[in-house]
Structure 1
Amino acid sequence: MFAEEFVVVDATSPLWNAMRPFLDIALRIEQQDDSYSWHGWNKASINAFLQKLPSHCSLMLGVWQVDAAQEQETLWLGCICEVLNGAICSVRTFAALEDPALPALVELEPGFSHAQDLIRVTKGQVAPVAWALFTDKATWDEWLLTVNADEQPIDKGELLAALARQGRCVLLGSQVSHHPHHHH
């Protein structure tokens, strides 16, 4: 899952506070044997996903905390995992991206235009984006933590696709299959 030379690029970024627990979980999954499962996630399914990716690419995740009272969305988690030959070789937050065209972190919104900007800058500074997931904290928690009744690993990809079909998250990137709508 992780490359031997694994680098955390910007550990001082404020966005790391949200990211650190997930990194700890991922390292724990990697250190256990294949029978270990954390909320339906296991090493075999994660490795299978990583192996199918292009040899050098990146995975992008943006999660927004929605404050309904103030009618605003704040970036809670923004990270980019660089994948080389099926192993994660670096992790950085959106704060590590340097480009004058990018809005400030506090101004980033989960809309299409900011997503396209992030993908473009990441392609130039890290690697082409295979998958980019933009969602809200409630949907992220649901996807991350959902298990089936018997605690067996579940198809997190299928669950994510279902959430995307419900309009609860946006999936972009070079690996996302696009099904054109047929007009009669």
Structure 2
Amino acid sequence: MPRHRSHIVLTVWPLAVLFIVELARLWPALRGASSFAQASPASWLSLLVWTALILVSLGAYARGWSVLVPAPGDSSDPYRSDGCRRLQKRAGGLAWALVVSQLVLHWVMTVRVGPVAISQYELLRGFLSRPAVMVFYVLGIGALGLFLSQGFAASFRAWGLGRGAKNSRWLEIAGTLTSAMMVLIAINVLSHFVTGRAYWMGP
């Protein structure tokens, strides 16, 4: 059981925190460039700190999968089946591709226009409105939602909850609803940068 808990702590929770923090950083953009610049000021220091957090989280993610060594007949496995485990790993890989791509984009924008939030806002509008980029972000957000949905349910199982079929089903529903809400918020933010308007709390 301890290795299952370590796996969850190292893989699911850091990615969930990074996702929430990035959503919180981008959410003020729904009220326009000036609001985004005021609420999310850009600086080299913040970019370096964010980069360090992502690199540490990525290392933790790799470590988390290395400690999860399923044993035959192990009923404490946080994932329901080998298929769920493989799906989780693939979804996590695509989710991390999105996270790293977003980090690279932050660096490119900062090098190009400096730590000027309004200028970065305009660059984001132009970059994310490209069809290929938009498709990649939608796929990445969807993969992240799937990863968190399974990860939230696996978190409860790793701590001994949801062992029964009924409890497990309710945990999966709760995990799916929670991750779906996060995905919808992310799509709402993305729609603002792509189309210039958001579907919820937009200008």
- TM-score normalised according to structure 1 size: 0.35
Greater helix fraction, Structure 1 or Structure 2: 2
- TM-score normalised according to structure 2 size: 0.33
